[in-house]
Each structure stands twice: as structure tokens, then as C-alpha cells.
Structure 1
């Protein structure tokens, strides 16, 4: 999971932030320490360089152990891409992607809003008996994996950077704006929401439906289509469920 976050950071070409959260994690560990110079001037400011507010990609392990001191600020960063740095000062965050991981699903209502912010969900199962041999042959964390994936001609592994990522994102966004949701696709979304509520007792929020629809349009645009296709709707199986066992029903 952490490797996924690091690779996304390399793709985006920005800074990477990683933390393991516990019930005792303090805001200083996530958002940065208080500025002592600012305190001398009766100002409440954090030094955010190198912390989540200035990261491009972040990996937060055991994210549902976040306490209330962290939760509200984290929600603002995830939803509005802004960080409240005291005295009403809102700073824009360059965050592109946040990968969250947990060994348990949220059990309290106060964590439901945080859970809802993560649009794409993926259950990671233990390694199968067939896959354990491949796992045992992999490089240990921190060691180079070039030997395993090096092409036959001996080329070295290369880090992927996308210099024109901003232009690419803008182009895809404009194309997605021109993708239509026809009556069939809208009816499918409506029926799915009703099914989740009545059959699985899962309330799909308006926010999640809107974001899911946007991702379907992005998928259609990336495939050169002008309207959402049933194939795009296959992505819904990774967005709508609340419990892993509900994915098959979706």
C-alpha cells in the first residue's frame, strides 16, 4: 500500500507524505509544528513544509484511528483542498491523491464522513497459496526491484515523471465536461442507489453519487466517448459499497 502511494507520487512529480496514525497521533505530526516566531507575535501558525498540507500525494495508514483533533482539518483538506492555518488563513493544498489504509472499517458515526471522502475502495486480501512463492522471491522493502523487472536488453529501471500533468488534467477535465449522462445511465444510478438503500441498508450520499458520476464521465472521455457507456459503469463496483462483501451485489 505504501509502495502504491510512492509510485503515485513519482507519477505526479510532487512531494510524498506518509504517516501511521494511532489514537495518540497529534496534529503536529500530520499538519506540522507550531511556529515559535509566530507565537511570539500572538499568531497561531503551523510550519507546514514537509507535512500533509504541502504534499502532492499522501499515504495515511490506519486512517480510521484519526482522533477528533485531526479529523475536521483532514476533512477540509480532502474535500476542499485547503488548510486552515489559524486566524482565518486558508492555504491552498497541492494534494492530488490521498491513499488511506485500514485493517478495520469505521465503527463510529463521526468517522462516516471521512470514509465517504474516499471515492474508490479496494479490499486487499491476504496473499494466496499460489502467490506466496512469487512474494517470497520479491526484493525486500528498501531493496531495488530492477532485477525482477529489467527488460532483456538490460535497460535500467526508470522513474516515471509527467512534466505536463497539469495540462493533461485540464484536457481530461474539459473533455469530461462534454460527456453526457443519458437517460439510461441516470436511471441506472438511481436504481442502484435505491437498491443499496432498500436491499443492503446502505445510504449512498449525494456527494458520493456526484463524484462517482464525474469519474464515469472521465472514464468515457479517456476512451474517446461522448456519453457514459455501460462499460464505464463497471467502475461503480469500486465506489458504491460500504462493506467488502457488498461489492459483488453492486
Structure 2
């Protein structure tokens, strides 16, 4: 049975967006799964929460993802002492004096943002969280006596933990997707040090940052008009093939005491459709049920959900990493070959070689039987090294 394909314009848009995501992944170690969840949240107009101890790159990951979008953004770190005016705007003194109207000036503040990044999101006061609840749930903001439509697409939240407080339950539940981040495995420490040092070099001397670093790869943000087209395309994905398996999973979850509300089950379908869209398919498949492992409400249920979803035959990756398809890896190789014909600087060539090496490692780890594709990547690496040595004979290949 042939899998239905998207129309050409939508497929090109989805591939372009996927390329932006790949660039974000390459700036972090062991954060592929979190990047994919951020993308699903934006495509579904839902909200996502990153949970993990300090120093696990939650804030920097959210900020880096935000830069992939050409959108109005509001970012803030909440504390117990944060005032509502710091998020929603100060009182409009002029109108209060001249007209006797109580309103806040929302220019440049959260009510006018397309994307909101809130660090330590549960630290806000009751006044802040109640206003946020209306914003993220109804996309409206009560400004004095007026109710204003908000343009908010997604709230990206970060927290060290999810508080076990019934008062915060309603607000916490509005984050459909959750991802736990831990410190990277010991085997990946060298990669963390390498990528981290490049980031520090850019902070120390931005003007001298190599073209292969994160700043050098920054592109024009993915526009809101194109994002809107992809969001509308999510609604056109056929979910017929996965509705039965999904219903059986929901029954199994409830049979084991996992809290999985009807509202959460209905909204979950958007994530399946968005995942299929990013893969270039017009119909969802069993593999597209994988986001279910991030729809837990209580952290205690996460492992149970993972087990039940895996028992249903859905490929479930280990936390922190996404196994990409052959098609995605072939696209990566084609893009490397295309970029090689355009790059001119030594550092740009070294970055291509680093990306090629990561592709080799990914193929060996996730697709050990893909010998032909692996051979093609290795041949591309040899050719790139030969071109590098021919053009830059005096420069050594270091840090590759």
C-alpha cells in the first residue's frame, strides 16, 4: 500500500521547516527529542514544557528554537517577586489621567507576542498565572474592561520540576507536551565541551565567530505566513489508520490508572498529524503515535505510558534522542553535497566535515544495515577532505 504524499508546495514547506529544526539539533547534544516537541507544539498551536535541573540547556534551547521563527517574541524569567506589569505591560497613565480608563500598555509585552518563552514558569504569583491561563487557553487578554484577542501561537515554558500543588494543576495541564531533560550521558561529554566552547567563543568575540558556528548558520526566520500554511495542513492529515490503535492505547492507559482525559486524547491527534506532516506524509502511520510518551500529566505516569505505547508496536526512542528515517538522512547527505559546491572558507569546510561525521555516527548507531547510504556518506567525506587539502594545504584539519 502506497503512503499518500503531500502536495508539492506543502511538502517543500515541511522540508524547509525540517531543515531549520536540523540546524537547531546540531547546536545541542542529546536534545533531538526536545527540538521535535517544540516543532510539534508550534505546528499544533499547543504549549510545551521542558522540565529538568539547572544547567541542562532548557533556556538556551528555547531561545535557539525561537530564532528559527520570524515572529514577535517575549521572553522572561519568573520569580516569586515578578509583578504582572513586567509581563503584561505598565498602566497607561495618560489614559487614566485624561479619560479615567484603566488599561495597561501592552506594546512589546507578552499579550502582543506570537511566541512566549517563560523560564521558571510556575514561580509566578496567582495574579500572573490566572492571566496566563486565560491567555494560553482562550488566546484572549482582559485589558481593563476590554477583552483583546491575543496572537499567541505557543507558550514555551521551562521549569526545574513540576510542583505537586493542586492550585497549579489547571495551569500545568494546559501544557499538552512535556519533555524531561537530564545531563547528557558520559559518552557525550566531549561533544558538549566542543559545542559549548564554540558558543563561548561567539560570546567572547562575536565578530570573529566562524561561519560554521550557530551564528554562522543563522538564516532568515521561518515566516508566520508559511507557518500558518503548515498549521492549516495539519488539519488535512488523514488519521484513519491510527485511530484504532490510539483508542486501544487510551483504554490500556486508563486500565492502569493513568490519568488521560478526553480533552487530552482529542488534542493528542494534532501531534500525530503534525508528525506525519513533517515526514512528508498526507496520512498518519503507527510511528506517528510516538508523541504520546510526552503527553503525561503526572511525572509518575511517564514510564507507564512509554511501556504501553511501546507494547502497542509504536517505535519509542530513548529520552533525549529521535531516530530519524532513511529519507531524512538521505536529504541531509544531498544538502551536504549541495553546500559543498557553494562554501569557500576553511571553517565552512570543517563544519561540513563535522556534520558528515555526525551523519556517519548516526547511521552506524540507528541504521546499522544501511550499508549503501553509509558508503555514500563516507565517500562524500573523502571527497570533501580531498577538496579541503587542495584548497587549504597549509591549514590542518583540527577539531573535526
Could you say whether these structures have the same fold, taking a TM-score greater than 0.5 normalized by the shorter chain as the test? Answer: yes
> Is residue 109 from structure 1 mapped to residue 109 from structure 2 by the alignment?
no
Aligned equivalent of 1:131? 188
SS of residue paired to 1:110: helix
- Structural mapping, 1:145-156, within 5 Å: 147=209, 150=212
> Is residue 187 from structure 1 mapped to residue 249 from structure 2 by the alignment?
no
- Structural mapping, 1:39-54, within 5 Å: 39-40=96-97, 41-54=99-112
Q: Deviation string for 1:112-169 (max 9, x for gaps)?
A: 2222222221111023333333333423384459857718xxxx71422246431342
State how far apart, in whole Å, the 1-side matches of 2:254 and 2:113 are: 36
Aligned equivalent of 1:198? 255
Post-superposition offset of 1:84 = 1.3
Aligned equivalent of 1:232? 288
Deviates more, 1:89-98 or 1:158-167: 158-167
2:71 to 10, 14, 20: 14
Q: Is the 8 A contact 2:173 2:297 kept in 1?
A: no
Deviates more, 1:117-126 or 1:206-215: 206-215
Aligned equivalent of 2:336? none
SS of residue paired to 2:178: coil
Post-superposition offset of 1:103 = 1.0
**C-alpha RMSD of matched pairs (Å):** 2.8
2:216 to 154, 157, 161: 157
State how far apart, in whole Å, the 2-side matches of 1:237 and 1:18 are: 27
Task: Specify which structure has the higher proportion of helix.
Answer: 2
Q: Is the 8 A contact 1:35 1:44 kept in 2?
A: yes
- Are residues 84 and 72 of structure 1, via their aligned partners in 2, closer, same or farther at CA, if it must alter by over 3 Å? same
1:4 to 47, 50, 61: 61
Task: Using CA pairs under 8 Å that are at least 6 residues apart, name the structure with larger relative contact order, 1 or 2.
Answer: 2
Post-superposition offset of 1:27 = 0.9
Post-superposition offset of 1:248 = 2.9
Post-superposition offset of 1:2 = 2.2
State how far apart, in whole Å, the 1-side matches of 2:153 and 2:203 are: 25
- Are residues 64 and 162 of structure 1, via their aligned partners in 2, closer, same or farther at CA, if it must alter by over 3 Å? same
Q: Is the 8 A contact 1:146 1:157 kept in 2?
A: no
- The runs of 5 or more residues in structure 1 that have no matched partner are none
Aligned equivalent of 2:275? 219
Q: TM-score, normalised by structure 1?
A: 0.83
SS of residue paired to 2:68: helix
- The runs of 5 or more residues in structure 2 that have no matched partner are 1-57, 310-400
Q: Deviation string for 1:179-213 (max 9, x for gaps)?
A: 2322x5223222322333331x3322233222210
> Is residue 80 from structure 1 mapped to residue 150 from structure 2 by the alignment?
no
Post-superposition offset of 1:241 = 5.4
How many residues end up aligned between the 2 structures? 243
> Is residue 60 from structure 1 mapped to residue 60 from structure 2 by the alignment?
no
Q: Is the 8 A contact 2:68 2:222 kept in 1?
A: no
- Are residues 8 and 91 of structure 1, via their aligned partners in 2, closer, same or farther at CA, if it must alter by over 3 Å? farther
SS of residue paired to 2:265: helix
Q: Is the 8 A contact 2:70 2:223 kept in 1?
A: no
SS of residue paired to 1:131: helix
- Are residues 42 and 198 of structure 1, via their aligned partners in 2, closer, same or farther at CA, if it must alter by over 3 Å? farther
Post-superposition offset of 1:57 = 2.0
- Structural mapping, 1:79-98, within 5 Å: 79-87=137-145, 89-98=146-155
